[in-house]
Amino acid sequence: MLGRGKRLWSRSKRLKSSYDAVIIGGGLHGLATAYFLATRHGMNHVAVVEKRYIGFGGAGRNTAIVRANQRTQENLPLYKEALELWPVLTQELDFNLMFYNCGNLNLAHSEAALKAMRLQVASAQFHGIDSRLIDPKECKELVPALDVSDRLRYPIYGGMYHPPGGIVRHDAVVWGLASGASQKGVDIIQGVAVTGIGVQGGRITSVETDHGTITTPRVLNAAGAYAAAISCEMLGMRLPISVLTIQAMVTQPLKPILHHVISSGTYHCYANQTLKGEVATGAHMDPWPNYTTQCTAHYIKHQAEALTQLLPCLKGVKFMRAWAGLADMTPDMAPIIDGNDPVRGYYLDCGWGYFGFKSCVVTGKYLADFMASGVCPQILRPFTGRRFEQHRLMGETPALVHYSPDN
């Protein structure tokens, strides 16, 4: 007879009347910050307040890819440290996060794309990140199933190979962080909605919930796609964030054919093979703002066409299930990480788009330092929301991106 397994974290407790810090959102960034507040700073009188259940949002809906081959000098050190933290955290939590650094292969389909990748590779190598340009023959050696002939609609000109990249089991990260934080005394409160944030004299004083009021001097808004709405409705702070749907799906289980993560910006397609043999694949975002998590026949058709162009052996393979999540996009495709401005004790961690999973642990580590000391760590300073007022946008995208129903 099967016995009941031991709970990974304590059951949701009744809200206490006060906490040293309240974190809005039980996703990966919120849980990571709570964990590091407790373990690095001894601040265990912390509540993670989640409206639904932990991992409900982007934490449980991403395709588990991690990498450090971004474009800018501000982003690269953060993502490099994030990759280095996965094996460390696995040991520290004593929890198998299933980190597999199988390598990430970004495909180029034109000479212009190769030139852009050459710049990315140079930037990565400058920061000590293993990234290199390879030709179509080397792409084929890495992924034998890849079609490198000229029969493709967009033939492969080469690729950017990033060996340290790979995949991490996203739900294992949720469970591991929740377990580690709970063991250190953090209260994980599920099924409780935040309805207001109290401010007096320019300082955070409380958080209102549908289960009562919490007195606290610190609030972290890590509510993912809903962070901008919370800031605007509860504090009158408007953030340049648009929320878009992004879809993903998996095939039926197959024998191992894909030993690396592959992606193509031209085909708007990326894929990796899971430990169960499923090919997990995602597409680009819906081109207009919305809060739906519905899957569409258009994207299922798009993924089938793109995958079978790149990997012809997948013709006839069936998609088994599909899902969608929300991406909170800023105009420069870089996050907003800020605090104490203009409200003392109010901290922001949002605008990650589809990069949030890759950075969750390292961001939580430095945000915990920020919240405990009140001083922003140097590595986070470029991500202040003030950069939009100063017209100092990041270079993750070559031009300002504006999302509207007219797209």
Give the pair of three-digit tokens for residue 404.
């509207």
- The domain spans of the chain are 21-62+170-241+332-388, 104-163, 242-329
pLDDT of residue 401: 77
pLDDT reading at 328 higher than 80: yes
Give the pair of three-digit tokens for residue 25.
């959102």
pLDDT reading at 5 higher than 80: no
37-48 tens-digit pLDDT: 999 999 999 999
CATH superfamily of 104-163: D-Amino Acid Oxidase, subunit A, domain 2 (3.30.9.10)
pLDDT reading at 399 higher than 70: no
CATH number of this structure's domain 242-329: 3.30.9.10
3-state secondary structure of 324: strand
Judging by beta carbons within 10 Å of its beta carbon (0-12, 13-18, 19+), is residue 4 exposed, middle or buried?
exposed
Q: How far apart are CA 59 and CA 55, in angstroms?
A: 5
pLDDT reading at 12 higher than 70: no
49-94 tens-digit pLDDT: 999 999 999 999 999 999 999 989 999 999 999 999 999 999 999 9
pLDDT reading at 6 higher than 80: no
pLDDT of residue 285: 85
Q: How confident is the model at residue 4 (pLDDT cuts 50, 70, 90)?
A: low
CB of 131 within 8 A of CB of 161?
A: yes
CATH number of this structure's domain 21-62+170-241+332-388: 3.50.50.60
pLDDT of residue 18: 97
Average of per-residue pLDDT values in the chain: 94
pLDDT reading at 3 higher than 60: no
256-279 tens-digit pLDDT: 999 999 999 999 999 999 999 999
Torsion of CA 199, 205, 208, 212, to 10 degrees: -150
Q: How far apart are CA 276 and CA 51, in angstroms?
A: 31
201-243 tens-digit pLDDT: 999 999 999 999 999 999 999 999 999 999 999 999 999 999 9
342-398 tens-digit pLDDT: 999 999 999 999 999 999 999 999 999 999 999 999 999 999 999 999 999 988 876
pLDDT of residue 405: 64
Same CATH fold assignment for domains 104-163 and 242-329? yes
CA 280 distance to own-chain centroid: 16
pTM for this one?
0.96
pLDDT reading at 404 higher than 90: no
CB of 281 within 8 A of CB of 269?
A: yes
pLDDT reading at 283 higher than 90: no
Give the pair of three-digit tokens for residue 273.
């093979």
Q: Which has the closest alpha carbon to 252: 308, 322, 306, 311?
A: 322
118-152 tens-digit pLDDT: 999 999 999 999 999 999 999 999 999 999 999 99
